[in-house]
Amino acid sequence: MLVLTRRQGESIRINDTMRITLLSSSEKQIRVSLETPRGKAVLNRPSGSTLLNESDINIRVINVHGNVRFSIDAPRSVSIWREEIWLKMHEQVHVPSSIRKIKIAGTFND
């Protein structure tokens, strides 16, 4: 089980295909945006309830006090990231298209 704390406007990324964004929270309830390849939904859930229970991934709202704590149960093969970390990883992967050749030991590789 993984526990992640999110503030309003912060997101969780799951397997590069799902994004959960905390839209708002009160003492007893949260509002989240859930984006998947099938579409986008806005959900309202009380503290302690299940947010998602789909294909071996179970996400529960476990604590709401300004910041919201999510409990995530998933197989080890499922990638779960705080969105700010996910974005940093994807920035480093993208190579500008203006870079065509790399000089290595006096030669050029195409």
Sketch the domain layout of the chain as residue ranges: 2-94
CA distance 3 to 6: 10
For the entire predicted model, the pTM comes to 0.75
- In the structure, what pLDDT confidence band is assigned to residue 21 with cuts at 50, 70 and 90? very high
pLDDT at 47: 84
Q: Specify the higher pLDDT residue, 43 or 103.
A: 43
Q: pLDDT (tens digit, 9 = 90+) per residue, 53-100?
A: 877 889 999 887 778 899 999 998 888 999 988 888 877 655 454 444
Pick the closest to residue 73 from 92, 60, 91 (CA basis).
60
- Give SS3 for 69: strand
CA distance 48 to 13: 21
- Give SS3 for 20: strand
Residues 34 and 95 sit within 8 Å (Cβ to Cβ):
no
